[in-house]
Structure 1
Amino acid sequence: MTKAIKLLTALPQVQRERLMELAKEVSFPEDTRIFEAGGNADRFWVIRSGAVSLDQQVTPIQRVTVAGLGAGDLLGWSWLFPPYEWDFGAVAFSPVRAYEFDATAVLALSVEDPLLGLSLVRTVAEILAHRLEATRVKLLDSYASRRRSIP
């Protein structure tokens, strides 16, 4: 599997600097629900420190963790695609510090600077492809281990 792509280090320096002009430093205490599946995806974050769990509600009382994110990782991509609703939930697994970006401002900057917009979309697409591959591998491993445990 390839190494995880980090949004800020993957962007060319000029585009990264322009994007960072929109960054706001935020923090989330441990166990804080950052967003819920189906909610309005109007921002995203780049984690500076700490850990975030992405989860999926599978029953009214059960959530399943689908991924863990840490320093440098992009948290939230649903702001980029209609219907602009979160596909998963996210909770701070530990105290988290992050850069927060307002989606409307980033999209406006992307129109103003098409090179930034293209770089941003390509990088987010690479991140999504990597996460999809990691999830596929995890599912295959889970399926294989279940088959081995059946007598």
Structure 2
Amino acid sequence: MTKAIKLLTALPPAQRERLMTLAREVSFPEDARIFEAGGTADRFWVIRSGAVSLDQPVNDLRRVTVAGLGAGDLLGWSWLFPPHEWDFGAVAFSPVRAYEFDAAAVLRLCEEDPQLGLVLVRNVAEVLAHRLEMTRGKLMEQYAMHRRGGAL
């Protein structure tokens, strides 16, 4: 399994500094719902401390946790792709401190600085590839457990 990509440390210093001019420090208490699947994706976060669970609604009463994120991780990528709606929900698993970025402002900055835009999109793509690999591994574990007669 590949190592998780930490968005801010993956950016070259000049691009990181430009992006950080748009950062706003925020915090979420434990159990706070940060966003809901299907909601408008107009921002993203880089987690400074704490843990966030990504979940997927199964029905009106049940959610399944699909991933856990921690310090340095990118929270939210749906802002980058139409229709700009969250694919998952997110909840603070513990108290969370994060840098919050307004998606429209970041996209404007990327238009002004195409090099930053390219580096940012490449790094987000690496994050997505890593998460897809993690999800694939979890699905394979679940399948193997199911084949052995375990519960899903």
TM interval, short-chain normalised = over 0.9
Deviations 1:109-140 (A, max 9, x none): 00000000000000000000000001001100
Deviation at 1:149? 2.2
**Aligned residue for 1:109?**
109
What is the identity, as a one-letter code, of the residue corresponding to 1:58? Answer: V
Distance in 2 (alpha carbons) for counterparts of 1:62 and 1:138:
19
Which residue matches 2:74?
A: 74
Aligned partners of 2:106, 2:149: CA distance in 1, in Å?
48
Aligned residues between the structures: 150
Alignment partners' CA distance in 2, 1:138 and 1:62:
19
Once the two structures are TM-superposed, the CA of residue 61 in structure 1 deviates from its matched residue by 0.2
RMSD between superposed Cα atoms in Å: 0.7
Identity of aligned residues (%): 81
Structure 1 counterpart of 2:91: 91
- For 2:145 and 2:38, how far apart are their aligned partners in 1? 32
Q: Which amino acid aligns with 1:109?
A: L
| Structure 1 length-normalised TM | 0.98
Residue 49 in structure 1 maps to residue 49 in structure 2 = yes
For residues 138 and 66 of structure 1, the distance between their equivalents in structure 2, rounded to whole angstroms, comes to: 9
Deviation at 1:99, TM superposition (A): 0.1
Q: Residues 24-43 of structure 1 correspond to what in structure 2 (within 5 A)? A: 24-43=24-43
DSSP 3-state at the match of 2:148 = helix
